[in-house]
Chain A
């Protein structure tokens, strides 16, 4: 197991959120969408221009920009 940023996850890779470092409005929006520590997620894919990234979380699809994904630390399986 290792910690990486959501930005660096590969399509179809799964993991569990360990930490959200965003504060203020971004932090609040991320939490409103259910991205809190302990939540499992899976990367669905990326937009044609590689950004934003689409994530499956709590049974729905959420898209967020790469620079927003930078605030989300995810624990993933080691073998990549």
Chain B
């Protein structure tokens, strides 16, 4: 894009926890769009803002500590800079943690992108007695430095103005040429010359940077170089090997380490005298340390963690009850309104049973999800989730996982009520593909927000006395299954050593309201759009499966014949009144009996019709297997539907039972219906709950697994593996329970 154009593209780069997202939110407000980078699920946040009639397009790059090729985030950030060529990179730097943050800055400068620095959290630094002289820092680095306080939006305009100035000055990429010492510099120069001569990747990277990356043994750059010019790459590698050998012999070190040492050397030289003024000895982490002394204490830490998780539970379930009720009532009203407006027939059936019931069941659940996500966002933004990962790493490591797996498990529903979709996405904080795969394959075992209402419905029906205990037990069970199965996966198909832990504990912060809301809204929106699209389509598909084909003519005639038989046995007057409405107003035992027989007959017919439908046939076919764990065809139909989205289980059961029961009293909840059903008892319910907890992740999650793991193989594996596991355990429970005479 030329300098005179009215639109500019800027990228935001910075360490995790430096306030990058807060600044992004402060600048773009609601004008942002969250998507994915093509082909992978690293989140791509884009936002717009305007300044003096220009449109500024900002891309929030993933938070990274460096620009190596070890994690997806770093690759994404690097590739974005190289391929999209943003006019300016706004590098957000935590003023109270300058040294380490500058490590990324130096790497950005080495790459040569035009950088404008946002020196963020200057207020925090100030309160700790640290003053940073921006002008001097700017002079020494040769880039604009703008102090900001992202939480309050301070300095954002000056920052954007500085970035626009740089963009419109037409500055080109100018790599910073650092010295990496007497051992590396000569070799680097030779390599650079060769690269320039042959034009190796010079359309993408500065020549010196390519040479540097070859010395650092960067897999991505090496791969590209090999593809472009194998002979030259071998020559460069031979040079690099010579340097490596020399450094190993003389210094007992590696080029990579020496290069890093010199980067840090450059940083400390940069900060020497006149930049950082320590006005009094304050420890910026003083308060955080005090809090940590309690929250990560050997005795109180785990107790407080349990209490916090339990609190999240209580808040979510208690406060969501009322609004969930409102949603349910609203959809019920909508249903009966549609019923009264539309003429009887397939259209009414489609609208009421297919669309309103299906979507209503899902949308009614939004308040619960909202509170759950809000609580998780709060824990994440305060910095507590990192502490939990720190405290739990030792436990997770036993199962071949990583402290960071904790986040994925929690978000997936480790505290019942998350969602496996963002949970699976959260696994990208894990760097090793093995731990990551093991986490994303087992995280869907958690009781996500969609399974919770299904479980809650069954609990309400069969474990009325101990609802909370039962839910807690199921949550614990989910953890046990997930961890044990992770261990099995990690010691069989994903065997291998664990990856580095190295987790930063950010200082505790009070989250901003805006940040929490944006965070929560993003996730809620993911959920609602899922309800609006996939679930609506699946509801309609399922309705069709359950409605067509109708009963064959002779069967319908047989039912009609029986109906007439009953009616003919009655006296004339009563017969007409019974034909008009099925609820007689007399207490005559003969009439009451006949009415009961009639409704029984209708129920049988409806059930017969459902059984005859495509879905019914599918469910009946599956009974060969499912009878081992005590499920009949109705449960099977619902479980098949649950693959689309677990919420659908409840609506399908609802639809299945209301379609099979013409007398369906609208006020009778599904729980009560199941309670009355002779097929269901606490043992079947428990086996069903375990099956629902464990079986194949929903379709959306499977697509995410495919995206995250990069192959359909793992998506299909999780569907098959989870369903087999679920079947085995449900069967064990059902058969075991029967042996015990339950």
Contact = CB atoms under 8 A, between A and B. Distances in A.
Interface stretch (B92-100, B143-151, B329-337): B92-100
Interface stretch (B496-504, B592-600, B724-732): B496-504
Contacts of A37: 261
A52 B261 contact: no
B555 to A, nearest CB: 66
A29 B302 CA distance: 28
B285 A59 contact: yes
Contacts of B403: 52
Interface in B245-260: 254, 256-257, 260
Interface stretch (B35-43, B62-70, B154-162, B561-569): B62-70
Contacts of A27: 254, 256-257
B504 A62 contact: yes
B296 A45 contact: yes
Contact of B499 (A25, A36, A52, A58): A25
B284 interface: yes
A25 B393 contact: no
A44 B289 contact: yes
A34 B98 CA distance: 11
A36 B264 contact: yes
A54 B257 contact: no
Contact of B68 (A26, A32, A33, A39): A32
Contacts of B397: 65
Interface residues of B, number: 45
B654 to A, nearest CB: 45
A52 B257 contact: no
A63 B390 contact: yes
A30 interface: yes
B501 A68 contact: yes
Interface in B488-537: 499-507
Interface in A38-60: 39, 44-45, 47-52, 54, 56, 58-60
A79 interface: no
A36, A39, A48 — most chain B CB neighbours (10 Å): A48
Interface in B266-298: 284-285, 288-289, 292-293, 296-298
Interface string B299-313: 101100000000000
B500 A29 contact: yes
A25 B70 contact: yes
B391 A20 contact: no
A73 B403 CA distance: 24
B472 interface: no
B103 interface: yes
B673 interface: no
A13 B96 CA distance: 23
B66, B298, B397, B501 — most chain A CB neighbours (10 Å): B501
B133 interface: no
A45 B100 CA distance: 21
Nearest to A46: B298
Contact of B285 (A20, A28, A56): A56
B556 interface: no
A34 B299 CA distance: 31
A64 B264 contact: no
Nearest to A48: B298
Contacts of A29: 70, 431, 500, 502
B103, B292, B502 — most chain A CB neighbours (10 Å): B502
Contact of A59 (B99, B299, B391): B99
A33 B97 CA distance: 12
Contacts of A26: 500
B574 interface: no
Given A34-B100, A44-B289, A25 B500 contact: yes
B171 interface: no
Contacts of A34: 99-100, 103, 264
Contact of A28 (B256, B301, B302, B506): B256
Contacts of A8: none
A61 interface: yes
Contacts of A51: 393-394
Interface of A: 20, 23, 25-34, 36-37, 39, 44-45, 47-52, 54, 56, 58-65, 68
Given A29-B431, A29-B500, 6 more contacts: A20-B257, A29-B70, A61-B292, A61-B505, A63-B502, A68-B500
10 contacts: A28-B66, A29-B70, A31-B256, A32-B68, A36-B261, A48-B301, A51-B394, A54-B292, A62-B505, A63-B502
